[in-house]
Structure formats: C-alpha cells, structure tokens
Structure 1
C-alpha cells in the first residue's frame, strides 16, 4: 500500500523550492536593474569622461564647484558693497560679474589689475593703492590663483598632472585671504569690503561658510592626489620586492 505524507510535511517540503524560485527572480530583476542603471549612467555621461580617471573626474567637478562658489561669493559681495560694481564701468552688478567670470575662465587679464594675476593680484586687490572695483579684482585674483594651482586647466584627463602641494598651498592662501577680507581697513578705519557680520542686530557668516567649502574641496583633492601618487610608488616598490616584471601593455 502506497503511503502518503502528511499535508503539513508536504507543505514544508515545498518551501525550499519556492524560496529558490524567489531568489532567482530577485537575482534576475536586480541584474536587469543594474544593467539599466549602468546603461543610463553611461548615456548621461560625456564622451570625454572616457579619458578621465576617477581622480581626474573629481578634480574637474571640484574645480567647477569651487568656481561656482566664487561666483556666488562675488554676487553676495556686490550686494553688500554696491559701490564697487559702480566703479567697474558696467551698468549693473550682473554685467560686472560676467566680465570677471569670463576673464577667469578664459585666462584673460582683468583691466583693473593690469597684468597682475594670482597672488600678485590678490595682494593688490586688498591694498590701499588699489582704486576700482575691489570685489571683481578680489574674486578674479582668487579664481586665477585656483586655475594656476591646477596647472592652468579647469578640466583634467589621464595625460594631465596636478601638483598636490600647489593645491594645498592654494587652500592655505584662501584661508589667509578670508581673514584679510574681514580685517583689512582703509585709512579711516572702515573695512575695504563688507562681508561677514556679527552684531546685535544680525549675524551673517555665509561668506566664511562658502570659503570654507572651497578650502575643504581643495584639501580633499590634495589627499586624493597624494594617495594616488603614493600608490604608484608602493606598486613599484612591491614589484621590486616580489621580483615581478612590470607589464608593458
């Protein structure tokens, strides 16, 4: 006589099969979703990203964000110091800011600064000898310094190299410039440019916060660059230690 298993035993014996089927469906769905995500990310990317390492991409995005922070700071400084854009010769703050932005990105000199760039322009823009649009000169000086510290480029690829020491130096220079901006006064004891404000009536530290973001991005890039070059040296040392031949292709 054929024996039949109890119903509850048959029920529990089916669970491993059901679980396996569910896992297979999930795995298939996940792989398909991952494939769609990868395809979407690839289609959203630019062709030139194929010639960028992860550090190159990070440096490019960091430069873009730092310049955008500078342009935001320029707009805020013009709002707090409206007399400055009026000395630029342009009809409004937007036009004055546009000219500064183009001069930074196109590596052109700013007429108010003559041939001065980078650190020379930064010192001059915060000096008593400077007469003109101090906001535009100050932002241009920092922007040109950033571009110079990154090898004169705003986009980076595998054939480019960035000196991490120069990037770190740029971060320290911005910290000093931020302090000078809040301290430097004219002969009458009036601040050359109004930025952060702490008083009984109001508190505005947005300038320091935005400058801090730029410094943080530069310091992070410095660490990434140091690690990349350190890994190159370590890989070479390991190949010598293990007596492995180095790949040629």
Structure 2
C-alpha cells in the first residue's frame, strides 16, 4: 500500500526524471554501451576460435562440414566397439592389433583410397560385398570402410564444404536409408554356421546393449537433418527467383 506522503515523493521524483532527458539518455547509452561491448567481446572470441576457411562457408556449408565430421567420428567409434565385440576380425587381414587396423581404415576413408583386400570396391559395392555371407576377411573393417566411403560419395566426394560446392539432398537421404538397411542386415544375417556375421547389439536375460543402434541412429538423424536443410536452401533459391520475377527486380550479375 502506498501512503499519500509516499505518493507525493514518488510524483516529485518522476517529474524531476522527466525534466532531465539528458540524464536518462546518458543512463540508456551506458547500458547499451555495456551490452554492445559484451557482444563485441563475444563475437571477437568466436572469430578467434574460427578458421580462415570458415569465411567461405555459408551456414549450411558449415553445418554439412560439422555433420560429416561427427558422422565419421561416430563411425570410428562403432568400428572400435565392433572390434571389441568381434576380436577375431582384425586378424583376418594380418594386423597385429585392432588399433593398426582401425588406423588404416580411417586413412582409407578420409583419403578416399581403395582397399586392395576389397578389390578396390567402394561405397555400395563394398557394402554389398562386406555383408555377403561368403565374404572372407575383416568384416568389421570392410563394413565400416564401405559406409564411410558411401557417406563421402553421397556428399559429392568431399568432407568439407564451401560456397561453390553443391550437395544433392537426395543422395544424402539415400545414404541415410542405406545405413538403416545395412544395420538391420548386420543384426539379422547369419553365416553358414548359423552365427551372426558380426556381433553388435545384444538383448539377453543378463542385460541389453543397444549402443550400436543408438550410434547408427545418430548418423541417420544428422543425415536427415542435413537433407531438410539442403532442401530448404534450394527451395528458398527457387522462391527468391520467383519473387524477383514477380516484382520485376533485376537479377544480380556478380
């Protein structure tokens, strides 16, 4: 409750404030200056953590680059987990340990080199070969290499993207669907002895391990999100062109 005397003081204070616009403006400028300085420091910090090539990337290009990086990291994590669940696999190609096998597979994916053990097959051809029950060799390495090379192929053969690059959203979406099919086949296909081609997820009375499905799900989710972003970007390009025709605007020439 505000008493009459308090109301009087409040009214006098408000009148004095209104009669001093310069003082109010100064206060507002100080506040705004503080906010802008903080924003400036934040922007400077972000720029200092960035790379020079990021200036040649749109937001979608940057997202595609980060998505590819994270998908490959998920793939390498899955490779290590599969080697732990299937310790006999890396020996099939003559490696002395799983670390050496994983390193060579990773280099082959990132440098886009073929694997002689796969007859230099890549992406879908390598994937079909790795999931064939008649395959003899390191099935873990072949499976991971096949998916990794398929991801790179679906993104136009690149792992970093810039303004001049184009990515077909349909190919990215197809890669996501292929991974879904491949993971299902991996969990269902059996060899001549009746055992699974590779041990991955496990559901038993002792417990369950669905970490493989979760990690593959992350890859699929990133690919689907990138597909939507690419579709929207190209849709906006078409809409902008249609709007320019409707409004009779001249189109830029450089």
* 2:229 equivalent in structure 1: 224
* 1:76 equivalent in structure 2: 81
Find 1:199's aligned residue among 196, 199, 204: 204
Q: What pairs up with 1:30-41 in 2 under 5 angstroms? A: 30-41=35-46
Query: Which blocks of at least 5 consecutive residues in structure 2 are unaligned?
Result: 1-7
- How far has the Cα of 1:95 moved from its partner? 0.8
Partner of 1:203, secondary structure, is strand
TM-score in terms of structure 2 length: 0.91
Q: Distance in 1 between matches of 2:40 and 2:108?
A: 43
Find 2:126's aligned residue among 107, 121, 132: 121
* 1:177 equivalent in structure 2: 182
- How far has the Cα of 1:60 moved from its partner? 0.4
Find 2:143's aligned residue among 138, 151, 160: 138
Change (3 A) 1:148 1:19: same
Q: Distance in 2 between matches of 1:205 and 1:8?
A: 66
Q: Where does structure 1 differ by over 3 angstroms across 4 or more consecutive aligned residues?
A: 6-24
Q: What pairs up with 1:10-159 in 2 under 5 angstroms? A: 10-14=12-16, 22-159=27-164
Q: Distance in 2 between matches of 1:234 and 1:168?
A: 22
Find 1:233's aligned residue among 226, 234, 238: 238
- How far has the Cα of 1:15 moved from its partner? 5.6
- How far has the Cα of 1:239 moved from its partner? 1.0
Q: Distance in 2 between matches of 1:240 and 1:9?
A: 59
Q: Distance in 1 between matches of 2:9 and 2:111?
A: 80
Change (3 A) 1:22 1:122: same
- How far has the Cα of 1:21 moved from its partner? 5.2
Q: Distance in 1 between matches of 2:123 and 2:195?
A: 26
Partner of 1:75, secondary structure, is helix
* 2:4 equivalent in structure 1: none
Change (3 A) 1:241 1:9: closer
Q: Distance in 1 between matches of 2:143 and 2:253?
A: 49
Q: Distance in 1 between matches of 2:174 and 2:11?
A: 73
Partner of 1:82, secondary structure, is coil
Alpha carbon RMSD of aligned pairs, Å? Answer: 1.6
For this pair of structures, how many residues does the alignment match? 244
Query: Which blocks of at least 5 consecutive residues in structure 1 are unaligned?
Result: 1-5
TM-score in terms of structure 1 length: 0.93
